[in-house]
Amino acid sequence: MTKRQTRPATRTVSHKTAAVELAARDPVLARLIEAAGPPVFRPPSETAFAALCRSVLYQQLAGAAAAAIHRRLIAAMGDPDDPAALLGLSEEALRSVGLSRNKAESLRDLAAKVLDGSVDLHPRHLARSSDDEIVSQLTVVRGIGSWTAQMFLMFQLRRLDVWPTGDFGVRRGYGLAWGVSAPSARALEPLGDPFRPYRSIAAWYCWRACELLAGAGDSALTR
């Protein structure tokens, strides 16, 4: 069986409108939406390349430390939107801003693949590509896995139907909201079907459920 390709919606729907529709479908989501308010998906302020660099850099780092390294990296590059500027930095220069060897290699791999065209971040190409096609393209880059690619879809490209089943917060939040044990990633996959084509919104409210129902700290994903 051919895997379903999730393509961008042809009809423009706001995140708030999608939440209203989901509230009408599901009483659990209706209660969450009432408690949490409208979903917050801020318009992207970076290019696709800069956003992916930030995502790689922030992986497994505390926010303040990552922000400081990110500032030093941008200063060293001069132009955060230019992959050639990043690739022009020596390994020593990348290490001197605070990057680990693995992160430096991941960023250099991203820059090289953008420059040779194997990763196409042109807005027109991204707009025409399905979610699955973008995930497949991005995950060839060292250090970019499915979760990073899915967050790129949700927050940079503002795709409405992303369901990050590998995210622990989404699984935990689903369990808290619906009063069940936190499902595994495999079990969570079909549980998202009733929320199509707005699974990104449902995932966001699962994160909020962790904050509202279990006292989890505020997340950069929900603010």
Domain residue ranges of the chain, discontinuous segments joined by +: 15-42+161-214, 48-156
The pLDDT-based confidence of 6 (bands split at 50, 70, 90) is low
The pLDDT-based confidence of 223 (bands split at 50, 70, 90) is confident
Distance CA 77, CA 85 (A): 5
- pLDDT tens profile 81-123: 999 999 999 999 999 999 999 999 999 999 999 999 999 999 9
> How does the average pLDDT of the chain come out, rounded?
93
pLDDT at 11 over 80: no
User: Domain 48-156, what fold?
Assistant: Endonuclease III; domain 1 (1.10.340)
| CA 137-141-146 angle, 5° bins | 65
The pLDDT-based confidence of 60 (bands split at 50, 70, 90) is confident
pLDDT at 22 over 60: yes
Query: Residue 62's pLDDT is what?
Result: 76
Nearest to 40 by CA among 214, 211, 216, 215: 211
107 neighbors 57 (Cβ within 8 angstroms): yes
Q: Report if pTM > 0.85.
A: yes
Bin 54: left if φ > 0, else alpha if -120 < ψ < 50, else beta: alpha
Separation in Å, CA 218 to CA 11, 36, 154, 214: 32, 12, 18, 11
> What value does the mean pLDDT take over residues 193-208?
98
- As given in the structure block, the two tokens for residue 80 are 């955060």
pLDDT at 173 over 60: yes
Query: Residue 161's pLDDT is what?
Result: 98
Residue range 15-42+161-214 forms a domain whose CATH class is: mainly alpha
Query: Residue 2's pLDDT is what?
Result: 41
Distance CA 134, CA 127 (A): 10
Query: Residue 215's pLDDT is what?
Result: 81
160 neighbors 200 (Cβ within 8 angstroms): yes
Separation in Å, CA 149 to CA 2, 51, 56, 75, 175: 21, 11, 10, 26, 24
> What value does the mean pLDDT take over residues 174-189?
97
Q: What is the dihedral of CA 165, 30, 181, 187, to 10 degrees?
A: -30
The pLDDT-based confidence of 5 (bands split at 50, 70, 90) is low
Query: Residue 12's pLDDT is what?
Result: 80
More confident residue, 8 or 193: 193
| CA 78-79-82 angle, 5° bins | 135
In angstroms, how far is CA 59 from the centroid of its own chain?
12
